[in-house]
Every structure is written in structure tokens, then in C-alpha cells.
Chain A
Amino acid sequence: MFCLQEKGYIIAAGAVLGILSIALVLSGNPANMGYCIACFLRDIAGGLGLHRAAVVQYLRPEIMGLVLGAFVTALAFREFKSTGGSSAVIRFFLGTFMMMGALVFLGCPLRMILRLSGGDLNALVALPGYVLGIWVGVRFLNMGYTLGPAVDQPKANSYFGPLLAAGLLILLLAAPAFIFFSAEGPGAARAPVALALGSGLLVGFFAQRTRFCTMGSFRDVLLFRDFHLFSGIAALFVVALAGNLLFGSFTLGLTSQPVAHTESIWNFLGMGIVGLAAVLAGGCPMRQLILTGEGNTDAAVTVFGLVFGAAVMHNFGWAASPAGVSLGGKYMVVVVWLLLLGLGMAGSLYGKKTTSFIGKVKSINAG
């Protein structure tokens, strides 16, 4: 069976993502935002009118490409499978929380790596926050944290994610009056549709085959001392850094960074939320999109939660801006941290009670 699990392929996946990220910025995407799953889902939420922040509204074709690329790849490799039923409501809110943390920092973990490669030192402040969140999550995993097993679902469930992606693509191309397109701001900075969609499809293929995940990268190192996934984001960083240096888009510093603010404590805590929520949900925002393409309805629900989170953040004025984080946004960060710690505890207790990993091991007599 053809399976890209060798180290070379995960490095290739990171490198391809790095090259395409640079290409997308050169072709029109906002700076250090060749890829940002949180930002792009936020733009889609705006494009659909779920929030009315006029500068961040666009149906980003990269997102549709990722889901459809993963869908086609999963079908081709017979890994498309309709599953779900593992704590859908909790997963929805883990998606919401991930988006909340990301919109305090102004970027998903992928964009954090890209911001770092562009010399934005605010990302260097956020990175330890992300790792701290993942470290806390790993403590819960070691305590037996689980959201329960997923089971097979009726096939129709699994096609909603890919069909929604296709539907968004049609809305993008038809551009009916009820879809919002930013006239200025980050939402107006766009790479051509064909390039954005094509890059999404390609990354969708690589990510599906290699299980590329920014959270898994750090989690596996902390949990198992396994650097397999980590080599993928390391490659992404190196390639994007080389690209930024090559094209003169590398600017080292904390201030005057594109689509960023300098409130370090909130960058740190915001990305911490993303890290912890991603461990509890089993994948970073990009991984959730790929899993959605594979027919995982739990991941699809998580993506809906991400979109919902974007709407809440902008409608309530909690999303950060280059000016900084609002007071409401700061309260939100503290409350969400507490909620996540509570969810981690609850999941650990549930795991101990129902599926105790030791208890799961049963002896059978094979003789």
C-alpha cells in the first residue's frame, strides 16, 4: 500500500506548504498569510455574513481546496470513511475556543510558523504559549483523557463537508449579492482563485497522506519523543524563511508587523488556548479540515465550531486587531482557559471511569 509515512514525505509536505505559502503572498494574499486556517475560516464566516467586520470577508478558496483535496485523496486511497459520534457538542466548542485563541493572537498555528519565518517576533512569544497549551493537554492525555470512541455513521453524513466546500466554491465563482467581499483590508488581499484553489488541493493531498499537523508535531515530541511530524513543520519554517529572505519580505522585530499586535501576554495566552484546545480536539485547525475531507463528521463539527467562533469574536468585539486586544477579549481568554482546564479534567475522569487504558487490556487464551 502506498503510504507517505516515511520521513522524506512529511518533510516534502512541509516544504510544499512553505513554497506555496510564499507564492500565495507574492500573488496577493496578506503578508505572512500564505496560509492561515483561522483567518481564512474567519473570512468565510464574514463572506457568508455571519459577522460584519467589513475588512475580513471573502470565501477563501484555499479552504475549499484543502477539504476537496483531502476528500479526493482519501477516496483514491480507500481511506474515506464515515465516522463520528465522539462528543460532537464538546468538539463544536473546542473548535470555537481554538478560533477564539487564534483571533487573539491573529493567526492559527500555521500562520504562527509563517509569521516567525517572516521575522515577526510576536510569533516567537506566542510559540511557547502554544507549546505550554499542548504540554497541559498532554498531561490530560496521560491521565486518560478521551472524548470517547467514534463509530461508523450513515454514509450521507460524510459527504456534507466536501459538498459544503464545493458549494462555497460555486458561491465564490457566482458571487451573488448576498455574499460579502471585502473592498479593503486583509479580506481584499487575495491570490488568484485558481492558484489559491490549486494550492489548497495540493496541500490537501500531502496533508491527507502525511497527517501533517502543527499540534501533533509538538504533542508527539512531548508525549513520545517522536519527531516525525515535527520534521514537517521544521521543513515548513526553513523553506518559508528562505523564501522570505529571498524575496525581501523578512523583517525582524516586534513592531510594525503585518496583521499583528504586540501585546505579548495575550499573544502567549491566546496561542496557549489554541494548543490546549487542539490537543483536546485531536488536531489543529488545518488537520480538522483534512479529517473533514476524509469523512470524519466529528472534525466537520469542529470546523463548524471554528466558523461559529469567528462570528462570535467579531460580533462581540473580542477579536484582536493590529491595535491590540479589547478588554472583553482579555476576559474571554481567562474564561476560556478555565473552561478548557475543566474540559480536560472532565475528559480525564471520563476516560478513567469508562475506558481505563490499563483496563482495556484484556487477556485472552490463545492456546
Chain B
Amino acid sequence: MDIKVVDCRGYSCPEPVIMARNAMMAAGKGEIQVQVSTAVARDNVTRAARGLGWAVSTEETGEDFVLNLTR
């Protein structure tokens, strides 16, 4: 199975949200992995994804966060 990976590390909000949204819109459903480097981006992408009906699970990888979005 293909997982889309969106690397937003280093970008500050709202850019990660725009990038993640574009990926979610393009995919429609499936699994998307979003990488972010701030807690703000983690929270905002999580909120945006849930708003679009995607489930979110988060893991912390050292300094960064990986969000797994599924729908």
C-alpha cells in the first residue's frame, strides 16, 4: 500500500496545515504521514485533519513529530 508522506519540517503555520490539507484533498482517503517540527504545527494539523474527518495518531521522533492520518 502506498503511504503519502508530507514533509513539513521547518515550516511554520499555517503552511504545514495548507500542505497537509492539500494532500488530504488530493488523496480523498487512505493513509498520509505528515512530518512537522513544532507542537503548534502538530496541534493545528491534527485539528484540521479531524475537521476533515481523518483519524490522527501522533508519535514523537526526537525533535520532530510524525502524524499518521487515516481515512
Instruction: State whether B9 touches A149 (Cβ < 8 A).
Output: yes
* Shortest CB distance A130–B (Å): 17
- Dominant SS among interface residues on chain B: mixed
Instruction: State whether A360 touches B43 (Cβ < 8 A).
Output: no
Instruction: State whether B4 touches A224 (Cβ < 8 A).
Output: no
Interface residues on B, range: 20 to 34
- Please, what's the 1-or-0 string for B1-28, where 1 marks a CB less than 8 Å from any CB in chain A? 1111111111111110111011100100
Whether, in the assembled complex, A282 has its beta carbon less than 8 Å from a beta carbon of chain B, the answer is yes
Bound form: Cα–Cα A219–B17 in Å: 12
Whether, in the assembled complex, A366 has its beta carbon less than 8 Å from a beta carbon of chain B, the answer is yes
Total cross-chain contacts (CB, 8 A): 87
Whether, in the assembled complex, A111 has its beta carbon less than 8 Å from a beta carbon of chain B, the answer is no
Instruction: State whether B4 touches A357 (Cβ < 8 A).
Output: no
Given A228-B47, A361-B6: A79 and B63 within 8 A (CB)?
no
Residue of B3, B7, B17, B39 touching A79 (CB-CB under 8 A): B39
- Dominant SS among interface residues on chain A: mixed
Complex interface residues of chain A between 206 and 241 (CB less than 8 A to chain B): 211, 216, 219-220, 223-224, 226, 228
Instruction: State whether A81 touches B38 (Cβ < 8 A).
Output: yes
Kindly report which residue of chain B lies nearest to residue A145, judged by CB atoms. Answer: B15
Instruction: State whether A141 touches B11 (Cβ < 8 A).
Output: no
Whether, in the assembled complex, A358 has its beta carbon less than 8 Å from a beta carbon of chain B, the answer is yes
* Shortest CB distance B43–A (Å): 5
Residues of chain A at the chain B interface (Cβ within 8 Å): 3, 5, 77, 79, 81, 83, 86, 141-142, 146, 148-152, 211, 216, 219-220, 223-224, 226, 228, 282, 298, 355, 357-358, 360-367
Given contacts A219-B14, A226-B51, 11 further A-B contacts (CB under 8 A): A77-B39, A86-B12, A141-B14, A282-B13, A357-B18, A358-B22, A360-B7, A362-B4, A363-B2, A366-B31, A367-B2
